[in-house]
Chains A and B, each alone.
Chain A
Amino acid sequence: MLNPFVPRLRNISLYLHIPFCENKCPYCAFDSFTPNEGDVDLYLELIEKEVEWWSRRLGRVTFSTCYIGGGTPTTLTGPQWLRLTQILDKYFDFKSKAEITVEANPNSLKTEHLLHWRDWRVNRISLGVQSFDDAELIQLGRIHNSAQAHNAISAALAASFSVSIDLMFGLPKQTFQNWGRTLKESVASGVQHLSLYQLSFEPGSAWENMPKETLPDGYCPYRWAQWYLPRKGYMQYEVANFSRAGRESKHNINYWREGEYLGLGLGASGYLSGWRYKNTSVFREYSELLRLKKSVIVSGERLSLDAKSKEAFILALRMSEGINRNDYKNKYGELNEQNLIKTLRTFPNDLYEITKGNIALTAKGMRVANIIWTDLI
C-alpha cells in the first residue's frame, strides 16, 4: 500500500483529526460522530499507535505548523488533552515559533482547555462561530448562541491566543443587514482572522438532498465582505480567508503552496514527497488495523508532473499573492506555465493580473474562481 518515499521533511506540517462532536451539524460533511463512553480514550490510544507507526518510518520529525481540527477538539477534557500532547511530545518536535492551531466550539471551550493549551504550545484558536445572529444559529443547527460566541472569543483573546472565527453566508433568508451585523460584530470582537464560507448542501451531510434553489446567490454578502473587511484592516489573502497583517494561517498557506504535511487520525489526509494519502474513515477499521500495527492508509496517489503542475497553479491562485512565476517555472517548466497563462487569457482581463513576477486573481476573479479553475485543470 505504502509507496517507498523519502520525505524531504523540511517545513513539514502536522494535521491531527479529532472526529468527535457533541452533535452533528446538518450542513457538515466531515468525518465526525458523537462519541460513546470510552471512545475518546480508545481514540487517544489509537493515535499513539499511529504516531508510533509513522515515527518508525520518519524518525523524529520537527513540524513547522500544527493544526488540531475536527470534529470538535474541545470534546476532549483537560486530562485527555494532556494525554494527547504528551503523545505528540514523546515522538515529535515543533519549531520554537511553530504556529499551532486548535479548533474549538464556543459552547465547549472551557478554561481548562485554554490553560492547558497555553502551557503546551498552542498559540492560535479557530472558533466555529458561524454567525452572531441567534436565529441563524438555530437555523444552522448550532448548539451555541451569540453570547457564548462573544464570551469564547473574549476568553481566548484574554489568554493571548491569536483568534480566528468561521462565518457562514448565503443562508436561506439571510438578509444583507444580518450579514452586515455579523461582520461588524466580528470586527468589533477583536479577532485577528476570519474565514468566510458560503453555505452549500454537501453530499454526505444531512442537508444533501435539500433543493439547491433555496440557496440565495452569494454575490452580495461576499462582495460586501471583500469591500468592508479590508477597510477594517482585514486583508483578503485567500478566496475564503481574511486577516490582520501577519496573522494569516501559516498552516493553511502550506497547503496552498503544496507543502508537505503529515495527517493523523480517522479519515485524515496527508501529502508527503508528492504522494497524497488518506486514512480510513471507518472507526472500527482504524482501530483494528492499528491493533495489528498496520497502516491505516486506505488510498494513495502519486500525481503525474502534469497533474501536479495544474494543481499547484490552481491552489496558488486561491491566494491573493498568487503564483511566483520564477518558482513555478523552476518546478514545472516554462511550457506548463505558458499553457496555463494561455487558458487564463481566454477570460475577461479584469479577473486576473499577470505581472513579470506574479500571476494572481483579482478580487473580482476570486468571486468566479471556480469557473476559472474548471478550465485550468
Chain B
Amino acid sequence: MPLNRIRNFSIIAHVDHGKSTLADRLLEETKTVQKRNMKAQLLDMLELERERGITIKSVPVRMNYKAKDGEEYILNLIDTPGHADFTYEVSRSLAACEGAVLVVDAAQGVQAQTVANSYLAADLDIELVPVLNKVDLPAAQPDRVKHEIKEIIGIDAEDAVLVSAKTGEGMPDVLERIIRDMPAPVGDADAPLQALIFDSVYDNYKGVICYVRVKNGVLKANKTIRFMATGRDYELDEVGVFRPAMEPVEELGPGEVGYISATIKSIDEARVGDTITDATRPCIEALPGYKEVKPVVFCGYYPVERENTNQLREALEKLQINDSSISFEPENSVALGFGFRCGFLGLLHMEISKERLNREFDVDLVATAPNVVYQVVLTNGDIIEAHRPSDFPDPAKIAETREPYIKLSIFIPDEFVGPTMSLCQEKRGNYVAMDYLAPERVRLTYNMPLAEFILDFHDRLKSCTRGYASLDYEHMGFKADDLVKVDILLQNEPVDAFSFICHAEQAYQRGHSVVGKLKELIPRQLFEIPVQAAIGQKVIVRMNIKAVRKDVLAKCYGGDITRKNKLLEKQKKGKKRMKQVGKVAIPQEAFYAFMNVTKAEDK
C-alpha cells in the first residue's frame, strides 16, 4: 500500500464525550465489523472498560475505506484512554499516529481532558480534526462549543464536523476529513527496519504480542528481529493487523500499524517504547522512546486469605505483563500478613487494577489506604524516599521533609467557584489562577500536595459541584513541607499498621479521629488499653478503652458441658481472627476501618 493511502489516527476526548461510540460507528461505517456483530464499545475489550464506560488500554484496529475520491485507504485507529491517570498511555498511542480526532461534547463543551489531550497532541506535532459529538441533543450548542475550542485550546474549529455517534449522523464526513486533513505517514521501505513498540499484551498461546508502528523498512514473518534496548534477537513468528481481531498478514510496510509475535516470554524483553530493527541489517538509531513513568500513588495489596500470597503474586505478575506501569514489591504488615506494596499512576489506575485482579485473576484482596512517596532529607545530607510511614526516620534525624505536588486545573460553572476554592484551601492548595473561559465557565488552577488530592479530593469536588466539575493534573515534583509521622500506640506500643504521615498542622485532628475510631472498634478486653497518637516521643492524643467488667455467664450443668465447650471453641475461633498485638486483640475490621478513616476523617 502506498504511504499516501494510509492514515494513522487516534481519537482523543474527555471522559463521556463519546469517544468509544464514535469508534464503533467508524468500524461500522467502514464495514470492518458487520452491524449484527457489533457490541457497544467494541474496542474496549476489558470487561471492566465496558462496564465503567472508560478506556484503559490502547487497542489498534485497521479499517479499509473507499473514499469519495475513488481510492482505497487504510485507516489505523489507535484508541486511547481518557482519564488523567492514563495520560501516559495517551502519549504512547499518539506517538504512533499522524493525526487525531478531537471529540468534544456539543452540550458540555471543552473539559479538562479535552485540553490536556489536545496539548499532548500539539506537543507531538499531531494534526487535530475537531468533531462535535451529540449534536442531536436538545442541549447541544455547536456554535458556543466551536468558539470554546478556539478560545481555550487555540485551534480553529469553524469547520468542525458535526456528528451524532449515537445516530450515525455525520460519520462519512469524519472519514473524509481524516483523509483530507491528516498527513499521510512518511517512511522508506528500503531503509533499515525501524518499528516502534507502542504497547504490548501477553497472550497465553503466543507469548508477548507487541503492537507496532513501522516507520521505515518492512516487517516480515520468519525474519530475525532485534530489540534495540535489550539487544536481543528473536525470530518473527507472526506479523498481523487488527480487524479488530488479530489477522496475520505477509508484511507490514512503512506507516503501517499491526502486531508481531516472536515467542517472547516476558514483557521485560519487549519494552514499550523500544525500537525493533532487522538483526541482519540494523538501523543506526532507535526511534525516540517514552519517558519512563514513575508510579505516584502507592498502596498495599494483601490477600484476604493469608495463605493466598503466592496467588496474588502470580496475578500481579500477569497484570504487570499487560500494564507495565504497575510496580510491586513484597511487604509485610503486622496486621495483614504478607502482601505487596504496589505503585500506580493514579487513584483510578489503582482502583481499576484492584478490580482487574479480582475479576480476571479471581483474587480477593484488601487494599490499604493509598499514600504518596515522600522525600526526607536527613541531617547528614542524605535524601531518602519514604514509600510508607515506616520508612520515615526518627524525627531527630530529619532536616527537611518534601512531598509531591501537582498542578491542578479544575473546570467548573462559575456558580461553584466559592465551594471549590474553599475545598482547595482546606486541601492545602495554593491558588495560582482563575480564568473565565466563557461567560459562565471558569478554570481554577491550584498547586496542591498529591497526598491531599488522593485522599478524597475527587469525591468531595464532585459533591460540592454537583458533578459539574472536570479536572486534570500534572506532576510538579517535590516541595518542602512540614510533614510528620504520627504513630498510634496501643498499651504504649506503636502499631505500624496504624501510622500515617500528614502535615504537622493536621496531626492533632487526624490523630484524634484515628484514636477515636480505634476506641470504637477495638473490643473491651480484660485490662484497660490506652490508645495514643504520638509524634516521636510526644503524645498528642490519648483515650482509654475501658476493661471488660463482666461477661455473660451462662450456667453449665451436665447437659450443657458439650454445648458450652463448642461455644467456647467458637468464641476462640472468633478471637483467632483478631490480630494479637502485644496483649491486645484487634479485630480485622479495625485495620480495614482505619484505611477508611484516613479517607473520611475530614468529612
Contacts and interface: CB of A to CB of B under 8 A. Distances in A.
B527 interface: yes
Contact of A368 (B526, B558, B562, B572): B526
Contacts of B554: 198, 200, 370
Contacts of B575: 374-375
Contact of A217 (B527, B550, B561): B550
Contacts of B551: 367-371
B552 A15 contact: no
Contacts of B553: 198, 218, 222, 239-240, 366-367, 369-370
Contacts of A267: 559
A374 B548 contact: no
B176 to A, nearest CB: 70
Contacts of A373: 568
A9 interface: no
Contacts of B569: 377
Contacts of B527: 347-348
Contacts of B568: 314, 370, 373-374, 377
A218 B548 CA distance: 11
Contact of B526 (A256, A271, A371): A371
A217 B546 CA distance: 14
B555 interface: yes
B530 to A, nearest CB: 15
Interface residues of B, number: 25
B565 interface: yes
Given A15-B558, A197-B555, A351-B526, A377 B565 contact: yes
A255 interface: yes
B36 interface: no
A315 interface: yes
Interface string B557-573: 11101100100110110
B549 interface: yes
A114 to B, nearest CB: 24
A301 B566 CA distance: 13
Most chain-B Cβ atoms within 10 A of its Cβ — which of A195, A346, A368?
Answer: A368
Given A368-B549, A370-B551, A276 B562 contact: yes
A255 B560 CA distance: 10
Nearest to A374: B571
A46 B340 CA distance: 66
Most chain-A Cβ atoms within 10 A of its Cβ — which of B526, B548, B550, B552?
Answer: B550
Contacts of A219: 549-550
B583 A346 contact: yes
Interface string B398-442: 000000000000000000000000000000000000000000000
A208 interface: no
B556 interface: yes
Interface in B521-546: 525-527
Contact of B557 (A252, A346, A375): A252
Contacts of B526: 347-348, 351, 368, 371-372
A373 B567 CA distance: 11
Interface in A1-48: 13, 15
Nearest to B551: A370
Given A373-B568, A377-B565, A269 B552 contact: no
Contacts of B549: 217, 219, 223, 367-368
Interface string A293-333: 00000000100000000010011001000000000000000
A242 interface: no
A76 interface: no
Contacts of A347: 526-527
A124 interface: no
B522 to A, nearest CB: 14
A263 interface: yes
A263 B565 contact: no
A132 interface: no
A269 B562 contact: yes
A113 interface: no
Given A351-B526, A377-B565, A255 B583 contact: no
Contacts of B556: 239, 255-256, 315, 318
Most chain-A Cβ atoms within 10 A of its Cβ — which of B526, B569, B572?
Answer: B526
Interface string A341-377: 0000011100100000000000000111111111101
Interface string B132-166: 00000000000000000000000000000000000
A68 interface: no
Nearest to A259: B558
A291 to B, nearest CB: 24
B572 A261 contact: no
A218 B559 contact: no
Interface in B566-588: 568-569, 571-572, 575, 583
A200 B556 CA distance: 14
A63 to B, nearest CB: 13
A373 B556 CA distance: 13
A301 B558 contact: no
A219 to B, nearest CB: 4
Contact of B550 (A13, A218, A311, A315): A218
A375 B574 CA distance: 11
A163 interface: no
B559 A240 contact: no
B234 to A, nearest CB: 61
Nearest to A364: B549
B235 to A, nearest CB: 64
B552 A198 contact: yes
Nearest to B528: A348
Contacts of A153: none
A271 B565 CA distance: 15
Interface in A225-268: 239-240, 252, 255-256, 261, 263, 267-268
Interface in A257-290: 261, 263, 267-271, 276, 278
B548 A311 contact: no
B572 A301 contact: no
A13 B550 CA distance: 32
A82 to B, nearest CB: 26
Interface string B352-379: 0000000000000000000000000000
Given A278-B562, A348-B527, A374-B575, A368 B555 contact: no
B378 to A, nearest CB: 40
A17 to B, nearest CB: 8
B567 to A, nearest CB: 9
Interface in B381-397: none
Contacts of B525: 371
A269 B558 contact: yes
A222 B557 CA distance: 20
A263 B550 contact: no
A375 B568 CA distance: 9
B565 A255 contact: no
A184 to B, nearest CB: 22
Interface string B78-101: 000000000000000000000000
Nearest to B566: A377
A222 B559 contact: no
B317 to A, nearest CB: 41
Contact of B558 (A255, A318, A372): A255
Contacts of A256: 556
A229 to B, nearest CB: 15
Contacts of B548: 368, 371
A268 B572 contact: no
Interface of A: 13, 15, 170, 195, 197-198, 200, 217-219, 222-223, 239-240, 252, 255-256, 261, 263, 267-271, 276, 278, 301, 311, 314-315, 318, 346-348, 351, 366-375, 377
Interface pairs A-B: 4 shortest CB-CB: A370-B551, A219-B550, A269-B559, A367-B550
Given A218-B552, A261-B558, 11 more contacts: A15-B559, A222-B550, A240-B555, A255-B558, A255-B561, A270-B558, A311-B565, A318-B556, A366-B553, A367-B550, A370-B553
6 contacts: A222-B550, A252-B557, A255-B561, A370-B568, A371-B525, A374-B575
